[in-house]
Chains A and B, each alone.
Chain A
Amino acid sequence: MLTSLLSGDFPRSRALTAILLAIFALLALAPFLFPGTQPLNVAAKICYFIVLVASYDLLLGYTGIVSFAHTMFFGIGGYGVGLALYSWGADWGAVAAGVVIALVLSIVLSLVIGLVSLRVRTIFFAMITLAVASAFLILASQLSNLTGGEDGRSFSVPALLRPSFRLFEGQVFGVAVTGRIIVYYLVFLVSLALFLTMIRIVNSPFGRVLQAIRENTFRAEAIGYRTVVYRTIANCLGAGMATMAGALMALWLRYIGPETSLSFSIMIDILLMVVIGGMGTMYGAAIGATIFILAQNYLQSLMGLASKSLEGLPLLPKLLHPDRWLLWLGVLFILSVYFFPTGIVGRLRRN
């Protein structure tokens, strides 16, 4: 049962297993363990970011493709669901239509980008995706009639998912089961399913070919695999998964705008999460996303304390200013690339 769920790809390290189980348990029980809006927001964000980061790892870690257009697909998913709900009313049909339209658009777009530019080298692909993604960002903020421009769009979700909805009277473990908790579990379960699907994909024969391409493209081609085809499929799969993550985000936030889905800073966040967690392992994506988002939300207050306590010293308080948390994660990122290319997961597995 467990073997087939995880596709035989076990964590292979006691510490890693413990961390993953902890993440799973905390996310599964989050609404009851930490009642309140802020912790639940963090938990939901971790859920859909795990999918997003894992789908990026499919490209970067498993296939060796550097794409900067991943937020574009994330945004397409978000805008697909968001705009469908906004313009066609808040029912499940709109959600389904939005997801399908977004998926088709993403896959067609990634297919075109892939066929045009995956034949060329890593660097070329990275630059072209960067250019396309930035054009898309400008497009989304300019077509304000459709997308709401810089302000984005707020929309309402189907009745079942609204905060005012009560599944039944009374409480479970002292928490009222509202529509908010139902959305959370929807996000959680879909994320879990997508994550397990990706583990399945990378451990299939197809996934092995992707890793072969990463290790030595020339040799993979010589053995007889059409590397362009495999890379393009990987690119489309990654794009599709990112689109799903975007759709989940839109359902959770009930808002979509360029800052939350398309901006370049999110792309950098994803990159940091993949590399710090561990490239080439799906578990790394889960750990990287969790650590990063926790840091984003809680490290800042810690740094604020440290900064206060060091007041009066030159420069140090400024370096520890709460807004500079990205500085330290950036340093960690560089160190990871040099010293542990397999990230936290690789580190734990070696011990």
Chain B
Amino acid sequence: MTAIPATKAAVLPKLQRDWLPVLLVPIVAIVAFPLIGNFSGWLTLTVAGLAMGMMIFIMASGLTLVFGLMDVLNFGHGVFISIGAFAVTLVVVPLATMVQADSVLANVAVLLLCAVVAMTLTGALGWAFERAIVRPVYGQHLKQILVTMGGMIVAEQLIHVIWGADPISVPPPEAFRGSVLIGDAAIERYRILAVAVGLAVFVAMLLVLNRTKIGLLIRAGVENGEMVEALGYRIRQLFVGVFVAGSALAGLGGVMWAFYRQTLTPGMGMEVMVLIFIVIIIGGLGSVGGCFLGSLLVALVANYTGFLAPKVALGSNILLMVLILMWRPQGLYPVAKR
């Protein structure tokens, strides 16, 4: 009896992991080090880049999953980011004393509450958006792009209607203001928090995708949706679930982004959409791991070049995308069927 599992393990070949893209991130960081010269500057830039990358990842991950599963690219994704950011005001304004309170516990509670409110709101909106806007145009790319753009325009205008046109300022909770010194390097506390949240989201996503049945179905759906349907699972419902989760993640990203930028404008989501598109193209459309690495790469490269050669920094993302696509035309981790 005991011999059977052993032989089984021997027969199944171990899944080949593709580590090359993973190495890119440390390589970029190490190459940048001698160029920057001093350690503290490098550390500050690296942490800033990582924080930025994590936030982009939170915002982009939902989009790439939705695309992978159902071949739907939501150009209106940015609006969920904006709405998540504006949802912060629903919490921060009535609880202003807790935001300014000198206790870490109260601050964390406010932040959590922001996240919960924003994710609930954007999740619900995502559900409505899927029903009203995306569902009628499954499988028609041209219409999908047009109609999700339209949804974005309308939703952005509705933000104007509800929250007014003036920029709103949202300072982060007291405990996450200012910076800590590590050696000579000053590192903003909020950036450390962003890295932590991003890592937590990434690990949670990996666990859900790799260790649960839902995750198995999602991965199978990305690989071959028809087969999953043939086996009797309702892939449409799965998709709605992923869409809602993706929107909620965009909302969470919006919260993080709001406290990072500290001013809210209705167009803020659309502004990061360009970065997000670059990230998911680099990562390989539909791949969560690729999306994670893509986010980190884009943000690190943007930060380093911004410091070393500010004029080049503008084109650095495009340049990075071109280089990666020349190396791997389908992105870092190509998803099988596409």
Q: Interface of A with B (CB < 8 Å)?
A: 60, 64, 66, 121-124, 126-128, 130-132, 134-135, 138-139, 142, 264, 268, 271-272, 275, 315, 318-319, 321, 323-324, 326-327, 329-331, 333-334, 337-338, 341
Contact = CB atoms under 8 A, between A and B. Distances in A.
Contacts of A327: 153-154, 157-158, 160-161
Contacts of A334: 133, 147, 150-151, 154
B270 interface: yes
A148 to B, nearest CB: 17
B145 A330 contact: no
A139 B317 CA distance: 13
A333 B317 contact: no
Contact of B145 (A123, A135, A138): A123
Interface stretch (B6-14, B97-105, B110-118, B135-143): B135-143
A338 B157 CA distance: 20
Contacts of A338: 136-137, 147
B106 interface: no
A234 B281 CA distance: 25
A128 B281 contact: yes
B147 A134 contact: no
Contacts of A319: 161
B314 A330 contact: no
20 contacts: A122-B141, A123-B144, A124-B285, A126-B73, A126-B145, A130-B274, A131-B278, A132-B318, A142-B314, A271-B149, A272-B153, A319-B161, A323-B160, A324-B157, A324-B161, A327-B161, A334-B150, A337-B146, A337-B147, A338-B147
B154 A330 contact: yes
B150 A330 contact: yes
| 5 nearest CB pairs, A to B | A327-B157, A330-B153, A334-B150, A330-B154, A127-B277
B312 to A, nearest CB: 11
A337 B150 contact: yes
A139 B310 CA distance: 12
B165 interface: yes
A279 to B, nearest CB: 9
B311 A142 contact: yes
User: How big is the B interface, by class?
Assistant: 35 or more
B321 interface: yes
A126 B148 CA distance: 13
Contacts of B160: 323-324, 327
Interface string B61-73: 0000000000001
Nearest to B71: A123
A326 B153 contact: yes
B41 interface: no
A319 B285 CA distance: 37
B139 to A, nearest CB: 12
Contacts of A122: 141-142, 145
A1 B151 CA distance: 44
A323 B142 contact: no
Contacts of B317: 131, 135
A135 B318 CA distance: 8
Contact of B274 (A64, A124, A134, A318): A134
Nearest to B160: A324
B167 interface: no
Given A271-B146, A327-B154, A135 B315 contact: yes
Contacts of B144: 123
A272 B314 CA distance: 29
A127 B281 contact: yes
B141 A123 contact: yes
A135 B319 CA distance: 10
Nearest to B162: A318
B6 to A, nearest CB: 46
A329 B153 CA distance: 9
A319 B315 CA distance: 39
A320 to B, nearest CB: 10
A262 to B, nearest CB: 13
Given A127-B73, A334-B151, 10 more contacts: A60-B142, A66-B142, A122-B141, A135-B318, A138-B314, A142-B314, A323-B160, A327-B160, A327-B161, A334-B150
Contacts of A264: 270
A127 B273 CA distance: 10
Given A138-B314, A268-B149, A341-B143, A131 B157 contact: no
Contacts of A331: 154
Nearest to A320: B161
Contact of B315 (A60, A64, A124, A139): A139
Contacts of B273: 130
Given A131-B278, A135-B315, A326-B153, A275 B146 contact: yes
Contacts of A333: 146, 150, 153
- Counting chain B CB atoms within 10 Å of each CB, the highest count among A64, A264, A330 belongs to A330
A126 B153 CA distance: 17
Nearest to A326: B157
A61 to B, nearest CB: 10
